[in-house]
Chains A and B, each alone.
Chain A
């Protein structure tokens, strides 16, 4: 069955860096576009970034562009999110979500998420 498992969340100081990973299984990872979506405490869902299959096209929310970098290692069925210059407002649970093959911007499977806390 399709599984997405995030890791790498932690407590980090403002201005610090963190690298999240999302390990995929149960499907042909390289065929799918994958997203990061976050949810701040008590708030709604916020899309963060998207990488298409093949890795050539990447998209970012304005709130993270220039600070976050999405990447993928198809040989390891793994998605990454490198987060630099972290701010308090980046505190959230970060989920990876698979896009549908025929409609990559529609998320058909989600991971449980990893907690990122930015605090001094």
Chain B
């Protein structure tokens, strides 16, 4: 059972907009920044969004992040087949004194 809650799966057709949610609590998302990582199975995760809504260089602006209260979301617009991957949210937890992850969301492009 992950500390942060994500839907296990999400899907969309090419060109659509998909939103992946991440729910936490006051000790993690409510107090600290949220990051999103993308992982293609069998490879290392990559940073997709940091500090709630910032994109590292090289990440297309089709990807955006937001945070409100104890929840965060990742939006992917103009869905492409290469967006198929697992997506994880993460944040520091002040009560656990460590980083907590969501369980991951498997995105399928239909």
Contacts and interface: CB of A to CB of B under 8 A. Distances in A.
State the main secondary structure of chain A at its contact with B: strand
B47 interface: yes
A82 B59 CA distance: 35
Interface in B12-40: 32-33, 35, 37, 39
Interface residues of A, number: 24
Interface in B49-74: 50-51, 56
Q: How large is the interface on B (under 10, 10 to 19, 20 to 34, 35 or more residues)?
A: 20 to 34
Contacts of A109: 47
Nearest to A42: B41
B92 A110 contact: no
B57 to A, nearest CB: 11
A29 interface: no
Interface of B: 2, 32-33, 35, 37, 39, 43-47, 50-51, 56, 86, 88, 90-92, 96-104
9 contacts: A37-B45, A44-B104, A45-B39, A47-B101, A97-B45, A105-B91, A106-B33, A107-B35, A110-B45
